[in-house]
């Protein structure tokens, strides 16, 4: 399938697909709403297919890369769903590494997130990407099924699973004891929550277009934060002023970057919302941030 870019779609259509991906409308409602854009021989089914992820595009680091060790590990989570399985990637050479927890969008541990873990491992980190869908059988192979399953998981228990994964990762014998977290969409919100929950146990957090915690929770944050936002993401962006005001008032270390004109999901290189320039810049900023606080 030919890769398209966000500027080839009307913003109204992108917003409609965003609602579908986040469970605000079902597939039938999306198809109904998208019908008016099906012109000139273009079908609604073709529009839908062109907007859904193509994971052949996500593999920037080969899972068989000889410089890496990769595999799956299960973490016990007694306060959550009992256990959580995830993808662990680390450099093949060396004994101890700074650690980074990688937290997926609201669709589970898909190939894009596994690739992000490998990208971090290539940069010298011990990276673990837990699957919040573990309790319902794990990521089912497609984002559509993943999103449906995601809505069946107890949110509070899933958060406890990520907390357990973070503590496990930090305490591993091949961890240097410095812990970072990076998350996207739902995962960005979880990074903000982990900053609240873990306090001084978290050394750096990077949230891509993530929901913000309440102002009352900000005093509990200890980790420096890097917050990436997309200009065309009204729902998430509405929470920025209050969050920034609370971070300032509590003298927290933070950096905010706004990528004007870009879509929610601009780092995810499997959909048309991906923006190569913004993704590259945001990722370099993320690596520089982790290098400063974790290495």
193 sits in which H/E element? helix 186-198
Residues 168/132, Cβ–Cβ less than 8 Å: no
pLDDT at 3: 75
Q: Say what percent of the chain tops pLDDT 90.
A: 87
- Assess whether pLDDT exceeds 70 at residue 169: yes
Residue with tokens 């905010």: 256
Tell me which residue of 180, 58, 186 sits closest to 114, measured CA to CA: 58
- Assess whether pLDDT exceeds 70 at residue 1: no
pLDDT at 57: 78
Tens-digit pLDDT profile for residues 222-271: 999 999 999 999 999 999 999 999 999 999 999 999 999 999 999 999 98
User: Domain residues of the chain, as ranges?
Assistant: 6-51, 60-294
pLDDT at 4: 83
Q: What would the mean pLDDT of 151-165 be, rounded to a whole number?
A: 97
Residues 1/49, Cβ–Cβ less than 8 Å: yes
For the chain, the average pLDDT equals 95
Between the alpha carbon of residue 30 and those of residues 25, 108, 142, 284, the distances in Å are 7, 21, 18, 35
Q: What would the mean pLDDT of 172-190 be, rounded to a whole number?
A: 98
Superfamily (CATH H level) for 60-294: Alpha/Beta hydrolase fold, catalytic domain (3.40.50.1820)
């Amino acid at each position: 399938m030919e890769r398209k870019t966000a500027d080839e779609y009307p913003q109204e259509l992108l917003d409609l697909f965003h609602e579908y991906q986040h469970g605000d409308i079902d597939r039938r409602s999306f198809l109904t709403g998208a019908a008016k854009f099906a012109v000139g021989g273009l079908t609604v089914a073709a529009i839908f297919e062109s907007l859904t992820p193509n994971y052949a595009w996500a593999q920037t680091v080969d899972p068989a890369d000889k410089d890496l060790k990769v595999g799956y590990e299960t973490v016990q989570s007694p306060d959550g769903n009992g256990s959580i399985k995830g993808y662990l990637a680390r450099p093949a050479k060396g004994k101890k590494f700074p650690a980074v927890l990688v937290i997926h969008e609201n669709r589970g541990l898909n190939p894009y997130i596994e690739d992000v873990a490998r990208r971090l491992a290539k940069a010298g980190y011990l990276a673990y990407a837990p699957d919040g869908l573990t309790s319902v059988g794990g990521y089912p192979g497609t984002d559509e099924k993943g999103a449906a399953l995601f809505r069946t998981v107890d949110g509070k228990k899933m958060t406890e699973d990520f907390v357990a994964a973070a503590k496990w990762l930090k305490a591993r014998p091949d961890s240097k004891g410095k812990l970072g977290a990076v998350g996207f969409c739902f995962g960005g919100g979880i990074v903000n929550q982990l900053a609240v929950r873990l306090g001084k146990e978290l050394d750096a957090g990077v949230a891509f277009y993530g929901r913000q915690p309440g102002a009352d929770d900000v005093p509990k944050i200890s980790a420096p934060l890097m917050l990436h936002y997309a200009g065309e993401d009204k729902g998430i962006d509405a929470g920025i002023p209050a969050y920034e005001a609370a971070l300032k008032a509590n003298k927290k270390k933070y950096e905010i970057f706004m990528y004007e004109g870009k879509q929610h999901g601009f780092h995810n290189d499997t959909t048309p919302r991906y923006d190569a320039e913004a993704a590259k810049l945001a990722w370099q900023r993320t690596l520089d941030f982790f290098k400063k606080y974790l290495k």
